[in-house]
Amino acid sequence: MRHDAILTVRVAQIHQETPVVKRFTLVPVGTDRLPPFSAGAHITTYAAFDGRVLERNYSLCNHPGTRNVYEIAIRRSDNGQGGSAGWHHHIRVGDTVHISPPKNHFPLSQRARHHVFLAAGIGITPFLSMMAELRARNGLFELHYAAPSRSYCAFREVIETSYPESRFYFSEEGMRLSPNVLCGAKVGTHVYICGPSSFIEAFSQQAEAMGFPKSNIHAERFTAPTPENPRPFRVTLRKSGRDVEVAAHETLLAALLRAGVRVRYACRAGGCGTCELGVVEGEVEHRDVYLTDEEKAANTSIIACVSRAAGDRLVLDL
Ligand code: FES
């Protein structure tokens, strides 16, 4: 666990939003104010389950002006590594939990004239704080929200009440969110996409194909893409001359940290660029969504949390 700064909060309320989503209300301990956050921000939680501390990132879904409470919503995944299931099965009202201060890799564009939010499933969470912020400052926005059904659509009632112009797409009712919702968008429209990786990839590509500048397309991902048949490789650190082996099952970032190399990181999902490292030699298999196509083609840097060597070895500017 990396402790840049750790806050302790208490679980004040737990609300079952859907059969698989719980909303947790967190309040400060030993103070009455939490650090401020901006729309789209998230926190990292450090919760211990079965003797293991699991770090997970969750969007803050309450109003960004709030200083006495953070709210997060967690979808239970029974096939995951235990983080969300731990929160669902073991966290109780009154428990204390360690969290990071808020970080924001998914801010609202200050240049946008109109904001289009595309959410799938639990991907709705960052948009709740964004819509609250925009509503407070009379910003223009629209929400398109895909969910399996009405009963599995987290925050449906509050969205219907507060933002009645929002569009819902329930797959069990044969409704489908399609990139066509972006047709006819006015100049200055920014698109924000949050949901499973496949949803983000498909809608990002479609938006680009429809002529949206890349700078107007924003995506939030909390999970790294899973590489197919990852292979081990070796990195040589040019400045220190050290070699570090990266096993097939681990990321370059994890291998460097394991070897005691100091590398900064934040999202660990290839989206924020914090872990970018210089590449001196060797070809990179880029798997991030941070570098531009030109930067990827230049092959002079690697996003260590998700990207790997295309061959057996890389030389890094470390
Ligand atoms: S830590 Fe965010 S891209 Fe690697």
Which tokens in the block code for residue 149?
A: 């059904």
Question: What are the beta bridge partners of residue 308?
Answer: 285
Ligand 1 atom nearest the C-alpha of 288 is 3
Closest residue by CA, ligand 1 atom 3 = 270
Which tokens in the block code for residue 219?
A: 């995506």
Ligand 1 pocket member 274 (CB < 6 A): yes
Mutate to test the pocket of ligand 1, among 256, 263, 267 (most ligand atoms within 8 A of CB): 267
| Alpha carbon of residue 173 to chain centroid | 28
Ligand 1 pocket member 290 (CB < 6 A): yes
Which tokens in the block code for residue 79?
A: 């096939």
Maximum Cα interatomic distance, the chain, rounded to a whole number of Å = 60
DSSP code of residue 215: G
Distance CA 185, CA 183 (A): 6
**Ligand 1 center from residue 11 Cα (angstroms):** 28
106 neighbors 128 (Cβ within 8 angstroms) = no
Question: What are the beta bridge partners of residue 116?
Answer: 142, 191
The per-residue pLDDT for 168 is 98
Ligand 1 atom nearest the C-alpha of 268 is 1
DSSP code of residue 103: B
**Residue 200 three-state SS:** helix
Ligand 1 pocket member 272 (CB < 6 A): yes
pTM: 0.80
**Ligand 1 center from residue 144 Cα (angstroms):** 27
Domains, the chain, ordered by start: 3-99 (2.40.30.10), 114-220 (3.40.50.80), 233-316 (3.10.20.30)
Ligand 1 pocket member 275 (CB < 6 A): yes
Ligand 1 pocket member 256 (CB < 6 A): no
The per-residue pLDDT for 4 is 54
Q: What is the pLDDT along the chain (318 residues), one digit of tens a residue?
A: 444 579 999 999 999 999 999 999 999 999 999 999 999 999 989 988 888 788 888 999 999 999 999 999 999 987 666 788 899 999 999 999 999 999 998 999 999 999 999 999 999 999 999 999 999 999 999 999 999 999 999 999 999 999 999 999 999 999 999 999 999 899 999 999 999 888 998 999 999 999 999 899 999 876 666 677 889 999 999 999 999 999 998 899 999 999 999 998 877 888 778 899 999 999 999 988 788 888 999 999 999 999 999 999 999 999
Ligand 1 pocket member 305 (CB < 6 A): yes
The per-residue pLDDT for 222 is 67
Which tokens in the block code for residue 22?
A: 């719980």
Distance CA 57, CA 305 (A): 15
Which tokens in the block code for residue 29?
A: 């301990």
